Chain A
Amino acid sequence: MKVVVCVKRVPDTEARIRIASDGTSIDPSGVKFVMNPYDEFAVEAALKHREAAGGGEVGVLSVGGPESAEVLRTALAMGADEAVLLKAAEQAQGLAVARAIAAELRQREYDLALFGMKAIDDDLQSVGPMVAELLDLPAATAITEFGLEGGTVTAQRAIEGGVEVVELTTPCILTITKGAYEPRYASLKGIMAAKKKPLAEKDAELGGAGIREIALEYPPERQPGRIVGEGPDAVPELVRLLREEAKAL
């Protein structure tokens, strides 16, 4: 069984994000960078399924600058076998990233190509399905859990108010969201072993993203609010305010 997982280096969720002086990028100083949390689910899914299959290969890819090698090493430490860094400008996103990944996947054989459902920096939620279109592969998004048997994937897809059960044949693409695949921590042994695993670098074949970020802005500041009171006796006043002032009830 061969699985390829695509991962991305992103700012940690607790990071305060500041706009850089150029107005179109973020100021990375003081920001902690990690593997995109949704990609961690995807790596875990690959490792779990490899274990269930009793063997196989798990490769990881990342499109990014040289620092993206860090998250590739993390995936190797978790248990992936080999990694490839597709070198690109930090801000590459969307269709450009999809094209770079599709170009790499065309040179590989795999049963599954897994992606995190979205990257928590750009929130575009598009690379997985875009790669599927570029490669003409079946794909399903927002998968919480899946099974693989004899070339057929049965996956649970999170939709509003429930779950869709979806079937696909391999090779196929899945984008993974939170569900069955709580990511394992890399052990010290894994971290040491990762140093010896292959990590190749290539230039990414990007093409344009199709969308262009003109400017970044901070969200509008919320007006300061107020504490209405203490304890349950403050409730009638709260309800009155919500009704008469906010007109929200």
Chain B
Amino acid sequence: MSGILAFAEVREGEVRRSSYEVVTAARELADQLGEEVHAVVLGGPGTGEAARELGRYGADRIFVGESEELGVYNASRFRSVVVELVRAQGCRVLVFPASAMGKDLAPRVAARLGVGYAAECTGLGVEDGQVVATRPKYAGKLFARVGFEGEPAVLSIRANIFTPREAERSPGLEALDVSTASGDLGAIVREVRAAAGRKLDVTEAPIVVSGGRGLRDPENFKLLEELAEALGAAVGASRAVVDAGWRPHAEQVGQTGKTVAPQLYFAIGISGAIQHLAGMRTSRYIVAINKDPDAPIFKVADYGIVGDLFEIVPRLTEEVRKLRG
């Protein structure tokens, strides 16, 4: 079995940022194991050309499955192509992004290959020639160091953890025969509906502006949307306001929502319940704005302002706009 296989996700003809992270993570493992990095990219026409730049992040070979049918995610098809490639080429480690697609596809590939799968790894290393992954449990209240039995080791990596690093290679594109990805198509995507406005997902944004019950009213989230826009940030929400119907579940940060690890997380009008902290405590920097100086959120925040968010947030938006010019 050879090679570290990096699954690079393409959506609507664009290589997603997670793909650079996956290739970088694969490259780090490959260097420690003395292996090559093979990227595999599946998508509609034009995918191959878009995927060329994966060489910049260290891919030694790029396998491309390109067809009309692959333009839309189909779990069965994608799984068949990846499994066939693994069986044909051999593979020591298989790295997926922990995106919606990656988290759907990775366990399927693992089960089909009869091996286990470690989800949302935040660290990867090699000990005694074996891959060891670090991954969160209990929404990050604990971390587990995990070893793999059998090959390949299948894992997905959390977004925003493995910073893409250039490691120039010049791979050619190798076309995969995807005509054999047949059989029962399983779940068929009929339609993809974008959320209103081109919103950045909380799990992908470098900055998140999150609001809780302190906002008092759903309309007041407009203040956070303005701050988010000035910062180029995504808007997040506490469970309380999602349960109240003020914000969609896609924005919920916490143990029964998303776990995020942005560079900068603003917790505004959020008290800091344990299940919320679990979802954001690995953010690089945390800023808390709350009128209650005893709110638990201040215990995890790097910087805090105590006071009325309805005065503080607009001022913050103003200062950020001045900064950004």
Q: What residues of chain A have their CB less than 8 Å away from a CB belonging to chain B?
A: 11, 13-17, 19, 26, 37-38, 94-95, 98, 120-126, 129-130, 132-134, 136-142, 144, 154-155, 157-168, 172, 177-179, 208-219, 222-223, 225-232, 234-236, 238-239, 241-243, 246, 248-249
Roughly how many angstroms separate A242 CA and B323 CA in the complex, as a whole number? Answer: 12
Give 6 nearest A-B pairs by CB, closest first. Answer: A210-B116, A126-B107, A211-B116, A138-B186, A13-B275, A130-B111
Selected interface stretch from B29-37, B62-70, B95-103, B213-221: B95-103
Contact B188 A168 (CB under 8 A): yes
B112 within 8 A of A: yes
- Is A14 a contact of B273 with CB atoms below 8 Å? yes
A225:B286 contact, CB within 8 angstroms:
yes
Q: B73: which A residues are within 8 A, CB to CB? A: 164
CB–CB B132/A227 < 8 A: no
Question: Cβ of B287: which chain A residues have Cβ within 8 Å of it?
Answer: 238, 242
Q: Is the CB of B110 within 8 A of A126?
A: yes
A214 to B146, CA, bound (A): 5
Q: Write out the residue numbers on chain A whose beta carbons fall within 8 Å of the beta carbon of B264.
A: 242, 246, 248-249
Contact A217 B143 (CB under 8 A): yes
Please state if B194 and A219 are interface contacts (CB–CB under 8 Å). Answer: no
Question: B315 contacts which chain A residues (CB < 8 A)?
Answer: 232, 235
Query: Which residue of chain B has the shortest Cβ distance to A93 in the bound complex?
Result: B116
Can you name the residue of chain A whose Cβ is closest to the Cβ of B140?
Answer: A219
Segment with Cβ contacts to A, from B85-93, B147-155, B168-176: B147-155
Establish whether residues A238 and B316, one from each chain, have CB atoms under 8 Å apart when the complex forms: yes
A160–B204 CB distance below 8 A: yes
Assess the A120–B256 pair: CB atoms within 8 A.
yes
CB of A14 within 8 A of CB of B274, answer: yes
Quick one: closest B residue to A10, CB to CB? B138
Assembly CA distance A140 to B201 (angstroms): 21
How far, in whole Å, are A192 and B200 apart by their CA atoms in the complex? Answer: 47
Query: Chain B 230-258 against A: per-residue CB contact (8 Å), 1 yes, 0 no?
Result: 01000000000010000001101011110
Which residues on the A side are within 8 Å of B135 (C-beta)? 123
Q: Which of B262-298 contact A (CB under 8 A)?
A: 263-264, 273-275, 278, 281-282, 284-287, 293, 298
Name which of B103, B136, B204, B300 has the most chain A CB atoms within 10 A of its CB: B103
Within 8 A of A (CB), among B9-31: none
Could you say which of B115, B132, B186, B298 contacts A225, with CB atoms under 8 Å apart?
Answer: B298
Given contacts A13-B139, A17-B141, A223-B302, 11 further A-B pairs with CB under 8 A are A120-B138, A126-B107, A126-B111, A139-B75, A160-B100, A178-B242, A211-B149, A226-B303, A227-B298, A228-B305, A239-B323
B75 to chain A, nearest CB (A): 7
A217: chain B residues at CB < 8 Å are 134, 142-145
A residues near B257, Cβ cutoff 8 Å: 178
For residue B46, CB closer than 8 A to chain A, the reply is no
B57 at interface by CB-CB < 8 Å: no
B311 at the interface (CB under 8 A from A): yes
The residue from A19, A94, A125, A227 contacting B142, defined by CB atoms under 8 A apart: A19
Given contacts A13-B255, A94-B116, contact A215 B145 (CB under 8 A): yes
Residue numbers in A under 8 Å from B107 (CB-CB) = 124-126, 129-130, 133
- Residues in chain B near residue A141, CB distance under 8 A: 103-104
**Contact across chains for A216 and B189 when beta carbons are under 8 A apart:** no
Task: Find the B residue at minimum CB distance from A240.
Answer: B319
Shortest CB-to-CB span from A210 to chain B, Å, is 2
Contact A248 B285 (CB under 8 A): yes
